[in-house]
A and B are shown apart, each in its own frame.
Chain A
Amino acid sequence: MGILKPHFKNYRKEIILAIVTILISAFATLWQPRLLENIQKAILADNKSTVLRDGIGLVILGLLAIVAGIFNVYYAAKIAQGITSDLREETYAKIQSFSFGNIEKFSSGSLVVRLINDMNQVMNMMMILFMQLLRMPIILVGSFVLSIITIPHYWWAPVLMLALMMGVGFIVIQNMNKLFDKFQHYMDKISTRVKENLQGVRVVKSFNQGENEIRRFNKTSDSLNELNIKIGYWISTIMPAFMLIAYLVIALVVFLVGRSANLNPTDVAVVSPYVSYILTLLFAILIGGFVIMNFTRGMVSLRRIKEVLDTEPDVKFDPNAPTAPEKGSIEFDNVSFTYPDSDKPTLENISFKVKAGEMVGIVGATGSGKSTLAQLIPRLYDPSKGTIKIGGKDLKKIGEKSLRNTVSMVLQKAILFSGTIASNLRQGKEDATDYELKRASEIAQAQEFVGQYPDEFDHEVEERSANFSGGQKQRLSIARGVIGQPPILILDDSTSALDAKSEKLVQEALEHDLKDTTTVIIAEKIVSVMNADKILVLDDGKLVAEGTHEELLKTSPIYQDIYRTQKAKEKRGEIDE
């Protein structure tokens, strides 16, 4: 509930009005039986003026109830939607402040469920709070007091009833809490399963795994179902249990009244209203129980949202740091990195220096830590040990905006967002002109196909970028990387799906158009980085050699090994010719 407090403040007026209107309508509900009783008595007594007066009173009460009720819904909806949407925005903004490691820990599927499904539960909870829950105590206390006043010497009966119901309610809520928690957990699982199947739809189909996927999904779905049934059973018990308690108390009181009728004959006359008060109490509690059930679910969701809000981004930026881009030099000083779920370091004691404007190649076997090293520069992760400097400044002291303007990274996996080609490229430079779009796409060798679309840069990007081939996606993602002419450009094996000619053209264009840019190229093939000013050779997370191609050929056995294999293969190709 704590995380809602700051949001409540923004709706102070609405909250007050919602409470006032709820009080008015609760008053109407409690007042109406009295008015009716008066009218009935007046009719029996043939007191026409009272009938008329209270009849008009009834009409006014009705109109009042309508007006108050509608305003109550209006304000409740305003508050519930307002606060939920604000909270959703706050949560989303928080997620956007996360490092990639934070997001991995939650898993993106779970974050989506929290933003959509859990928020809906919170919304329901707020609607209930401002339409029902606040009314309950008024009616509850009202009927409780009235029932005690009616037959004072059986005061213990409504007290006993309330105590029993609270006991039952407590047990049920304790259990429900756990179950709802589990429920949201299974929702996460379902969501992840579906998401994976959508992402891998071609794999599922080409391996004929539809049936197995269904079986696996059904297993999760069945567990959710069992849980749902369990929750249902608890809900099924609570209503009848409350009714049972109420009717037993009623029967007991009526029985006692009957047995001692000769001692307290006046009790008999008030049995009817007494019972009706007890029943009002029961219904208030029944509705209250139903409300509390939803409330419990809302609270579980709120807790899950709180989890997100309470998570501190594990990569933090200094908000007061200057925003101007830094120079393009890079320095690693004894950097080690271990992924959170792993106990084996992916990078160990890496140290090297790169001057601004240089081209650096990083080579090494698959899994040697090349991508991880590259991801440390734009702070997708922070090193577990050691420091990284760019432009001579500790990475941790550089402002976020400055870092983003300094370092641009083209990822291994080309990700495009739905929208247009232009909107994707402009992610690299928000205010890019048409000329800049064209220039970037020329560098990335994307202009040859973009130019063919009649709508050029306004061409639509479909879901999963299905309307682009792997090579086209990579070119667009390179274009996004170079559009801002960053001081540091990291290409993480981002030309893998390009043909050799295009790859060469991209490199030439980079050399020509981004002369001052420090380029870090992670390559699977030595040939891609042969011309680099410096090549770093990684092996199993360690920097085993650095130097130019020629130097490394002389000094590094691992480099020689890689190069030889590649050469041999080239030869094999040539022999075939």
Chain B
Amino acid sequence: MSNTKKALKYFAKYLKNYWKGVTIVIVLSLISTLSQVLGPLFLGNAVQGLTKAVNKVSSQSHDLSSFYQSLGSMISVYAAGIIASFIAWMVMSKFTANATNDMRENLFAKFQRMLIRYFDTHQDGKLLSLFNSDLDNIFNALNNAIFEIISQGALLIGTIIMMFIVNPTMAIFTVATTPFIVIVSVFIMKKARIYLDKQQDKISDLNGYVNEQINGEKVIITNGLQKKSVQNFRKYNNDVRRAMFKGQFYSGMLFPLLQGISLLNLAIVIGGGAWLIVSGQVSQAVGLGLIVAFVEYSQTYFQPLTQLTSIYSMTQLALTGARRLATVEEQDEENTVPNGKVLKGIKKGVKLENVHFGYDKDKEILHGVSIDVDKGKSVAVVGPTGSGKTTIMNLINRFYDVNSGKVTFDGIDVRDITLESLRNNVGIVLQDSVLFTGTVEDNIKYGKPTASRDEVIAAAKEANIHDFIMTLPDGYDTQVSEENSVFSTGQKQLISIARTILTNPEFLILDEATSNVDTVTEAKIQKAMDAVIAGRTSFVIAHRLKTILNSDKIVVLKDGNVIEEGNHDELIKKHGFYYSLYTNQMAFE
């Protein structure tokens, strides 16, 4: 139940901004319901008037004025109803679309504020299904359910009131099956909800699987794993099939059930009316009239009930979706330190002070690491795979926060610096380069969208990718994406280097940036990087010793501890771990 509450709260939050629209729709749908109730009344009057007139035909006074009058009333009532529902639908289409759009945009914006940890521990495909499936369900329900719930609800309440005014005893007969209906419905809905929830979970699992498989398709193709992939798919797909079948069956059952019960209810109403007459509580004439009237009422009473159940699965799916979205909205966000210090350049340097850190609380990766990077100096971190080098980058840029100890810029803890100014000062070239859908130019000026074409070209030249870009048919306007094959992996890396060069950061982190390009290119990049690094404070994470020989200081990391520190000559003289790394490399080359 608290889940439903959470979902309803979510809806309330997003519909609040459209209260005007919601109010208009409520009022108009009440008017349209009213016209539906009144319309037949005027029609009845018209027919009555007509009958009277016809009966008077013999007397030659063929007076149709009351007939025309009722006909006119009928037309205007229906017209009012049609206009009201037309406007209501128009208003509603707009605000439901807008509200869903708000949800979608807020969800995306929330993604931008969430912790890296969340993304590292949740499947991309599952998060995608929030957009592909859940938001779609919500939109469908908003569009189709709101009007129905209001107008059918109004009809239901109106009918109940009318019935009790006309004859309480007969009214009780009419609603006699309602407790039974409620019990059965609650039972079925409970079941349906379980399976509909399960259905969405299973769909999201399937989405996760499909997304991962298709993204790794090259591995699948080259290893001939297609059959196996389909086999595993079958498992996920069958889970979806089973959960969906049950969800659809249980939620679909309500509609025919209520329709059938409404027929049974008619029998009760007729039986009840007969009992009133037989037991002498009402005269036969009155009783007959009551039966006829309540047969009508019973039908109008059940119409909204059955209508509402027919949209049950739609609303339930929307509630499930809203709950899932609300859960994401609850996730922790990055602390942007809005009142923190604004970092404007680096005056002294960057320090790691006795940093302890682990991605899991109980599994520490860095055990008290201290590293000083003085302003204008270049520090290289080396060490075997898995020693924690990349983790340090994660901490400097606050992708993660330390467990204890601190990372400081000019003595200020990074947790006291506004996140924006911190990241504006830190430029990173990541291990894996990523391209975004757009032009080559868009990708290079990604970190500085205001950059001019000249700046873009200058950065591309520095990163040694300009010449290649010029061979593309559309040059800088060539459309690229993560998936298409315009660039090789090495070229992608050059693009991401150009991207970083363009933002001209104060502090530079290079995470094995030059490992994927050929020697000729690498030499040129190294030159460019040397130029970029000069006068800048930098932190190089590298496996290739050659690329770091020029650094002012080398920190050797092993199993999460700094085991050696110094410049190349000092470390070589030491004949320690670095020495063996270096001699190994030289021996190899």
Q: Does A63 contact B (CB under 8 A)?
A: yes
Please name all residues of chain B whose beta carbon is closer than 8 Å to the beta carbon of A28 when the two chains form the complex. Answer: 260, 263
Cβ-defined contact, B423 with A207, below 8 A? yes
How many residues on B have C-beta within 8 angstroms of the other chain's C-beta atoms? 183
Please name all residues of chain B whose beta carbon is closer than 8 Å to the beta carbon of A36 when the two chains form the complex. Answer: 266, 295
Within 8 A of A (CB), among B44-96: 44, 46-47, 50-51, 53-54, 57, 62, 64, 67-68, 71, 74-75, 78-79, 81-83, 85-86, 89-90, 92-94, 96
Q: Does B259 contact A (CB under 8 A)?
A: yes
24 contacts between A and B (CB under 8 A): A43-B291, A44-B288, A65-B256, A67-B260, A73-B249, A74-B249, A82-B241, A108-B217, A120-B136, A196-B482, A202-B399, A208-B420, A239-B86, A240-B89, A268-B54, A428-B223, A467-B359, A469-B389, A475-B385, A480-B223, A497-B431, A500-B544, A501-B585, A565-B519
Within 8 A of B (CB), among A369-383: 370-372, 378, 380
Q: Does B214 contact A (CB under 8 A)?
A: yes
Cβ-defined contact, A430 with B228, below 8 A? yes
* Closest-CB distance, B298 to chain A (whole angstroms): 10
Q: Does A243 contact B (CB under 8 A)?
A: yes
Cβ-defined contact, A62 with B98, below 8 A? no
Cβ-defined contact, B101 with A116, below 8 A? no
Please name all residues of chain A whose beta carbon is closer than 8 Å to the beta carbon of B261 when the two chains form the complex. Answer: 62, 66
Asked if A371 meets B46 with Cβ closer than 8 Å, knowing A63-B260, A497-B543, the reply is no
Please name all residues of chain B whose beta carbon is closer than 8 Å to the beta carbon of A104 when the two chains form the complex. Answer: 483-485
Q: Which of B222, B473, B589 contacts A409 (CB 8 A)?
A: B222
Cβ-defined contact, B544 with A427, below 8 A? no
Within 8 A of B (CB), among A453-482: 462-464, 466-472, 475, 477, 480
With CB as the reference atom, state the residue of chain B lying closest to A525. B519
Q: Does B41 contact A (CB under 8 A)?
A: no
Cβ-defined contact, A404 with B223, below 8 A? yes
CA distance A472 to B47 in the complex (A): 86
Asked if A198 meets B127 with Cβ closer than 8 Å, knowing A92-B230, A190-B104, the reply is yes
Cβ-defined contact, A117 with B291, below 8 A? no
Cβ-defined contact, A499 with B256, below 8 A? no
* Closest-CB distance, B237 to chain A (whole angstroms): 5
Q: Does A397 contact B (CB under 8 A)?
A: no
Chain A 299-337, CB-CB to B under 8 Å as 1, else 0, gives: 000000000000000000000000000000000000000
Q: Does B218 contact A (CB under 8 A)?
A: yes
Cβ-defined contact, A243 with B132, below 8 A? no
Q: Which of B94, B96, B233 contacts A92 (CB 8 A)?
A: B233
Asked if A366 meets B248 with Cβ closer than 8 Å, knowing A95-B214, A469-B385, the reply is no
Please name all residues of chain A whose beta carbon is closer than 8 Å to the beta carbon of B526 when the two chains form the complex. Answer: 569
Q: Which of B97, B128, B521 contacts A112 (CB 8 A)?
A: B128
Please name all residues of chain B whose beta carbon is closer than 8 Å to the beta carbon of A475 when the two chains form the complex. Answer: 385
Q: Does B281 contact A (CB under 8 A)?
A: no
Q: Does B550 contact A (CB under 8 A)?
A: yes
Within 8 A of A (CB), among B107-141: 108-109, 111-113, 116, 119-125, 127-129, 131-133, 136, 139
Cβ-defined contact, A85 with B252, below 8 A? no
Q: Which of A194, A403, A467, A472 contacts B108 (CB 8 A)?
A: A194
Within 8 A of A (CB), among B451-509: 468, 471, 473, 481-491, 494, 496, 499, 503
Cβ-defined contact, A366 with B572, below 8 A? no
Within 8 A of A (CB), among B212-262: 212-230, 233-234, 237-238, 240-241, 244-245, 248-249, 252-253, 255-257, 259-262
Within 8 A of B (CB), among A357-405: 363-367, 370-372, 378, 380, 400-401, 403-405
CA distance A275 to B45 in the complex (A): 14
Cβ-defined contact, A470 with B512, below 8 A? yes
Please name all residues of chain A whose beta carbon is closer than 8 Å to the beta carbon of B397 when the two chains form the complex. Answer: 205-206
* Closest-CB distance, B533 to chain A (whole angstroms): 15
Please name all residues of chain B whose beta carbon is closer than 8 Å to the beta carbon of A98 when the two chains form the complex. Answer: 217
* Closest-CB distance, A165 to chain B (whole angstroms): 14
Cβ-defined contact, A107 with B481, below 8 A? yes
Main secondary structure of the interface of A (DSSP, over half): helix
Q: Does B401 contact A (CB under 8 A)?
A: no
Asked if A524 meets B517 with Cβ closer than 8 Å, knowing A100-B218, A197-B111, A203-B434, the reply is yes
Cβ-defined contact, B64 with A258, below 8 A? yes
- The stretch of B159-167, B168-176, B267-275, B347-355 that contacts the partner chain: B267-275
Asked if A204 meets B386 with Cβ closer than 8 Å, knowing A100-B221, A198-B127, A527-B589, the reply is no
Q: Does B424 contact A (CB under 8 A)?
A: yes
* Closest-CB distance, B50 to chain A (whole angstroms): 5
Q: Does A439 contact B (CB under 8 A)?
A: no
Within 8 A of A (CB), among B416-463: 420, 423-424, 426-428, 430-432, 434, 436-437, 446-447, 449
* Closest-CB distance, A47 to chain B (whole angstroms): 12
Chain A 204-230, CB-CB to B under 8 Å as 1, else 0, gives: 111111111110011001101100110
Main secondary structure of the interface of B (DSSP, over half): helix
Nearest 3 Cβ contacts at the A-B interface: A69-B256, A232-B93, A404-B224
Cβ-defined contact, A576 with B549, below 8 A? yes
Cβ-defined contact, B93 with A233, below 8 A? yes
Please name all residues of chain B whose beta carbon is closer than 8 Å to the beta carbon of A408 when the two chains form the complex. Answer: 222-223
* Closest-CB distance, B68 to chain A (whole angstroms): 7
With CB as the reference atom, state the residue of chain A lying closest to B273. A43
CA distance A204 to B496 in the complex (A): 12
Q: Does A141 contact B (CB under 8 A)?
A: no
Q: Which of B43, B203, B214, B517 contacts A111 (CB 8 A)?
A: B214
Q: Which of A127, A218, A468 contacts B248 (CB 8 A)?
A: A127
- The stretch of A4-12, A142-150, A338-346, A543-551 that contacts the partner chain: A338-346
Chain A 61-101, CB-CB to B under 8 Å as 1, else 0, gives: 11111111110111011101110110011001101111110
Cβ-defined contact, A569 with B523, below 8 A? yes
Within 8 A of B (CB), among A251-280: 251, 254-255, 257-259, 261-262, 265, 268-269, 271-272, 275
With CB as the reference atom, state the residue of chain A lying closest to B277. A43
* Closest-CB distance, B567 to chain A (whole angstroms): 9
Cβ-defined contact, A562 with B550, below 8 A? no
Please name all residues of chain B whose beta carbon is closer than 8 Å to the beta carbon of A221 when the two chains form the complex. Answer: 101, 104-105, 108
Q: Does B581 contact A (CB under 8 A)?
A: yes
* Closest-CB distance, B548 to chain A (whole angstroms): 9
Asked if A213 meets B112 with Cβ closer than 8 Å, knowing A66-B261, A222-B101, the reply is yes
Please name all residues of chain B whose beta carbon is closer than 8 Å to the beta carbon of A32 when the two chains form the complex. Answer: 263
With CB as the reference atom, state the residue of chain B lying closest to A418. B212
CA distance A268 to B482 in the complex (A): 73
Cβ-defined contact, A363 with B518, below 8 A? yes
Chain A 534-577, CB-CB to B under 8 Å as 1, else 0, gives: 00000000000000000000000000011001101110110011
Cβ-defined contact, A77 with B399, below 8 A? no
CA distance A115 to B215 in the complex (A): 14
Q: Does A49 contact B (CB under 8 A)?
A: no
Please name all residues of chain B whose beta carbon is closer than 8 Å to the beta carbon of A443 when the two chains form the complex. Answer: none
Interface centre among B83, B131, B523 (most CB of A within 10 A): B131
Please name all residues of chain B whose beta carbon is closer than 8 Å to the beta carbon of A469 when the two chains form the complex. Answer: 385-386, 389-390
Within 8 A of B (CB), among A412-450: 412-413, 415, 417-418, 427-428, 430, 448-449
Please name all residues of chain B whose beta carbon is closer than 8 Å to the beta carbon of A372 when the two chains form the complex. Answer: 485, 488
* Closest-CB distance, A175 to chain B (whole angstroms): 14
CA distance A239 to B43 in the complex (A): 21
* Closest-CB distance, B528 to chain A (whole angstroms): 14
Q: Does A39 contact B (CB under 8 A)?
A: yes
Cβ-defined contact, A524 with B522, below 8 A? yes
Q: Which of A40, A97, A202, A232 contacts B96 (CB 8 A)?
A: A232
Q: Does B1 contact A (CB under 8 A)?
A: no
Please name all residues of chain B whose beta carbon is closer than 8 Å to the beta carbon of A366 when the two chains form the complex. Answer: 468, 488, 490-491, 494, 517-518, 521
Cβ-defined contact, B543 with A100, below 8 A? no
Q: Does B515 contact A (CB under 8 A)?
A: yes
Asked if A43 meets B237 with Cβ closer than 8 Å, knowing A81-B248, A463-B121, A562-B520, the reply is no
Q: Does A504 contact B (CB under 8 A)?
A: yes
Q: Which of A74, A197, A412 contacts B516 (CB 8 A)?
A: A412
Q: Does A131 contact B (CB under 8 A)?
A: yes
